Amino acid sequence: MKQALLVIDVQQELVEGNEKEQAVFQKEKLIETINRVIEMAKEADAHIVFIRDKDVAGGNGEGFQVHRDLQVPDHAVVFDKLATNSFYGTPLLDFLKEKEVAHVVIAGCQTEYCIDTAVRYATVSGLDVTLVADGHSTKDSSALKAEQIIAHHNVALRGHYNVNHFSDVRSSNEDLFQPKQDGYRKEYGM
Protein backbone atom coordinates (compact mmCIF):
# COMPACT_ATOMS: atom_id res chain seq x y z
CA MET A 1 0.00 0.00 0.00
CA LYS A 2 1.31 3.43 -0.94
CA GLN A 3 1.24 6.06 1.78
CA ALA A 4 1.93 9.73 2.42
CA LEU A 5 2.66 11.97 5.36
CA LEU A 6 0.87 15.32 5.26
CA VAL A 7 2.42 18.02 7.46
CA ILE A 8 -0.09 20.85 7.50
CA ASP A 9 0.64 24.51 8.32
CA VAL A 10 3.66 23.95 10.57
CA GLN A 11 4.92 27.36 9.59
CA GLN A 12 7.29 29.61 11.48
CA GLU A 13 4.88 32.38 12.49
CA LEU A 14 1.89 30.12 13.13
CA VAL A 15 3.89 27.90 15.49
CA GLU A 16 5.87 30.64 17.24
CA GLY A 17 3.15 33.27 17.31
CA ASN A 18 3.65 37.01 16.85
CA GLU A 19 2.66 40.27 18.54
CA LYS A 20 -1.04 39.52 17.90
CA GLU A 21 -1.20 35.71 18.12
CA GLN A 22 -0.01 33.29 20.77
CA ALA A 23 2.25 30.34 19.95
CA VAL A 24 0.67 26.92 19.56
CA PHE A 25 0.37 24.65 22.59
CA GLN A 26 3.57 22.73 23.40
CA LYS A 27 5.33 23.93 20.27
CA GLU A 28 8.70 22.30 21.07
CA LYS A 29 7.07 18.92 21.65
CA LEU A 30 5.07 19.32 18.42
CA ILE A 31 8.22 19.94 16.34
CA GLU A 32 10.04 17.04 18.01
CA THR A 33 7.11 14.69 17.36
CA ILE A 34 6.71 15.70 13.72
CA ASN A 35 10.44 15.26 13.09
CA ARG A 36 10.15 11.74 14.51
CA VAL A 37 7.17 11.05 12.23
CA ILE A 38 9.10 12.39 9.22
CA GLU A 39 11.82 9.83 9.98
CA MET A 40 9.16 7.11 10.19
CA ALA A 41 7.74 8.24 6.83
CA LYS A 42 11.18 8.04 5.23
CA GLU A 43 11.69 4.52 6.62
CA ALA A 44 8.26 3.50 5.26
CA ASP A 45 9.12 5.01 1.86
CA ALA A 46 6.04 7.22 2.14
CA HIS A 47 5.60 10.40 0.15
CA ILE A 48 6.11 13.50 2.31
CA VAL A 49 4.00 16.58 1.65
CA PHE A 50 4.13 19.93 3.41
CA ILE A 51 1.17 22.28 3.16
CA ARG A 52 1.59 26.01 3.78
CA ASP A 53 -1.29 28.40 4.45
CA LYS A 54 -1.02 31.65 2.47
CA ASP A 55 -2.76 33.48 5.35
CA VAL A 56 0.26 32.93 7.60
CA ALA A 57 2.61 35.93 7.62
CA GLY A 58 0.83 37.39 4.62
CA GLY A 59 2.00 34.49 2.46
CA ASN A 60 5.66 35.51 2.31
CA GLY A 61 8.88 35.94 4.23
CA GLU A 62 10.42 33.80 6.93
CA GLY A 63 7.18 33.60 8.94
CA PHE A 64 5.43 31.92 5.99
CA GLN A 65 8.07 29.19 5.61
CA VAL A 66 7.91 25.69 7.05
CA HIS A 67 9.19 25.91 10.64
CA ARG A 68 12.97 26.19 10.71
CA ASP A 69 13.36 23.27 13.15
CA LEU A 70 11.50 20.77 10.98
CA GLN A 71 13.73 18.40 9.04
CA VAL A 72 12.30 18.77 5.54
CA PRO A 73 13.63 16.01 3.23
CA ASP A 74 14.96 17.09 -0.16
CA HIS A 75 12.34 14.97 -1.94
CA ALA A 76 9.40 16.47 -0.02
CA VAL A 77 6.64 18.20 -1.96
CA VAL A 78 5.26 21.58 -0.86
CA PHE A 79 1.80 22.91 -1.73
CA ASP A 80 0.41 26.31 -0.78
CA LYS A 81 -3.26 26.78 0.04
CA LEU A 82 -5.68 29.67 0.46
CA ALA A 83 -8.43 27.81 2.36
CA THR A 84 -8.82 25.86 5.59
CA ASN A 85 -9.09 22.72 3.45
CA SER A 86 -5.65 21.55 2.26
CA PHE A 87 -7.32 19.88 -0.73
CA TYR A 88 -9.26 22.93 -1.93
CA GLY A 89 -7.61 24.79 -4.78
CA THR A 90 -4.40 22.76 -4.50
CA PRO A 91 -3.05 19.80 -6.48
CA LEU A 92 -2.91 17.67 -3.30
CA LEU A 93 -5.65 15.16 -4.14
CA ASP A 94 -4.46 14.77 -7.74
CA PHE A 95 -0.91 14.22 -6.46
CA LEU A 96 -2.06 11.52 -4.01
CA LYS A 97 -4.16 9.79 -6.68
CA GLU A 98 -1.33 9.95 -9.23
CA LYS A 99 0.99 8.33 -6.66
CA GLU A 100 -1.75 5.75 -5.84
CA VAL A 101 -1.71 6.68 -2.16
CA ALA A 102 -4.37 4.84 -0.14
CA HIS A 103 -3.38 5.91 3.40
CA VAL A 104 -2.28 9.31 4.71
CA VAL A 105 -0.77 10.15 8.06
CA ILE A 106 -1.64 13.70 9.14
CA ALA A 107 0.14 16.06 11.53
CA GLY A 108 0.28 19.83 11.94
CA CYS A 109 -1.72 22.91 12.89
CA GLN A 110 -4.36 24.00 13.81
CA THR A 111 -6.34 21.13 15.27
CA GLU A 112 -9.90 22.46 15.02
CA TYR A 113 -9.44 24.07 11.62
CA CYS A 114 -7.07 22.69 9.03
CA ILE A 115 -6.34 19.36 10.72
CA ASP A 116 -9.99 18.48 11.34
CA THR A 117 -10.93 19.50 7.79
CA ALA A 118 -8.07 17.51 6.21
CA VAL A 119 -8.96 14.34 8.12
CA ARG A 120 -12.63 14.50 7.19
CA TYR A 121 -12.06 15.54 3.56
CA ALA A 122 -9.48 12.80 3.03
CA THR A 123 -11.94 10.08 4.11
CA VAL A 124 -14.61 11.50 1.78
CA SER A 125 -12.00 11.44 -0.99
CA GLY A 126 -11.35 7.71 -0.64
CA LEU A 127 -8.34 7.72 1.67
CA ASP A 128 -7.76 6.06 5.00
CA VAL A 129 -6.26 8.48 7.52
CA THR A 130 -4.13 8.19 10.62
CA LEU A 131 -4.04 11.36 12.69
CA VAL A 132 -0.95 11.61 14.89
CA ALA A 133 -2.52 12.10 18.35
CA ASP A 134 0.49 13.98 19.71
CA GLY A 135 1.43 15.52 16.36
CA HIS A 136 -1.14 18.29 16.02
CA SER A 137 -1.65 21.47 17.99
CA THR A 138 -3.60 24.69 18.29
CA LYS A 139 -4.04 27.77 20.47
CA ASP A 140 -6.50 28.57 23.24
CA SER A 141 -9.88 29.74 21.98
CA SER A 142 -12.47 31.86 23.77
CA ALA A 143 -14.35 28.64 24.62
CA LEU A 144 -11.66 26.02 25.29
CA LYS A 145 -8.01 25.66 26.17
CA ALA A 146 -5.77 24.25 23.42
CA GLU A 147 -5.23 21.06 25.38
CA GLN A 148 -9.02 20.48 25.52
CA ILE A 149 -9.42 21.13 21.78
CA ILE A 150 -6.68 18.60 20.98
CA ALA A 151 -8.13 15.97 23.35
CA HIS A 152 -11.64 16.48 21.93
CA HIS A 153 -10.48 16.00 18.34
CA ASN A 154 -8.44 12.92 19.23
CA VAL A 155 -11.67 11.36 20.53
CA ALA A 156 -13.99 12.70 17.81
CA LEU A 157 -11.79 11.62 14.88
CA ARG A 158 -10.90 8.13 16.16
CA GLY A 159 -12.95 5.74 14.05
CA HIS A 160 -14.57 8.58 12.05
CA TYR A 161 -15.68 7.27 8.68
CA ASN A 162 -17.24 8.26 5.40
CA VAL A 163 -18.70 5.16 3.77
CA ASN A 164 -15.67 2.84 3.36
CA HIS A 165 -12.77 4.98 4.56
CA PHE A 166 -11.81 5.57 8.16
CA SER A 167 -9.67 7.84 10.24
CA ASP A 168 -7.73 6.52 13.19
CA VAL A 169 -5.89 8.43 15.89
CA ARG A 170 -2.61 6.99 17.11
CA SER A 171 0.37 8.09 19.14
CA SER A 172 3.70 8.78 17.47
CA ASN A 173 5.09 5.93 19.59
CA GLU A 174 3.16 3.49 17.39
CA ASP A 175 3.98 2.32 13.86
CA LEU A 176 1.84 4.90 12.11
CA PHE A 177 2.63 3.49 8.68
CA GLN A 178 1.02 0.16 9.55
CA PRO A 179 -2.61 1.29 9.27
CA LYS A 180 -5.34 -0.34 11.36
CA GLN A 181 -8.39 0.76 9.35
CA ASP A 182 -9.27 -2.81 8.37
CA GLY A 183 -10.18 -3.35 12.03
CA TYR A 184 -12.81 -0.64 11.74
CA ARG A 185 -14.11 -2.17 8.51
CA LYS A 186 -14.55 -5.53 10.26
CA GLU A 187 -16.17 -3.87 13.27
CA TYR A 188 -18.71 -2.16 10.99
CA GLY A 189 -19.21 -5.21 8.78
CA MET A 190 -17.72 -3.65 5.65
CATH number of the domain enclosing 162: 3.40.50.850
pLDDT digits (tens, 9 = 90+) for 133-161: 999 999 999 999 999 999 999 999 998 88
User: Which are the contacts of 25, defined by CB distance < 8 A and separation ≥ 6?
Assistant: 137, 138, 139, 140, 146, 147, 150
What pLDDT is attached to residue 159? 87
How many CA atoms does the CB half-sphere of 35 hold within 13 Å? 12
Torsion of CA 157, 108, 106, 40, to 10 degrees: -130
In contact, 67 and 11? CB cutoff 8 Å: yes
pLDDT band at 32 (very low <50, low <70, confident <90, very high): very high
Range of the domain at 178: 2-187
Residue 162 has pLDDT above 80, yes or no: no
**Hey, which bits of 19-173 come out as E strands?**
47-53, 77-81, 101-109, 128-137, 161-162, 165-170
Average pLDDT over residues 105-123: 98
Model pTM? Answer: 0.97
pLDDT band at 189 (very low <50, low <70, confident <90, very high): confident
Residue 3 has pLDDT above 90, yes or no: yes
What pLDDT is attached to residue 161? 82
CA-based R_g, the chain, Å = 15
Residue 7 has pLDDT above 80, yes or no: yes
β-pairing, 77-81 with 101-109?
Answer: unpaired
Q: How many domains does the chain have?
A: 1
Element (H, E) at 32: helix 27-43
Q: What is the strand order of the sheet 101-109 is part of?
A: 77-81, 47-53, 2-8, 101-109, 128-137, 165-170, 161-162
Mean pLDDT of the chain: 96
Average pLDDT over residues 19-30: 96
Angle at 113 between CA 107 and CA 118, to 5 degrees: 50
What pLDDT is attached to residue 190? 77
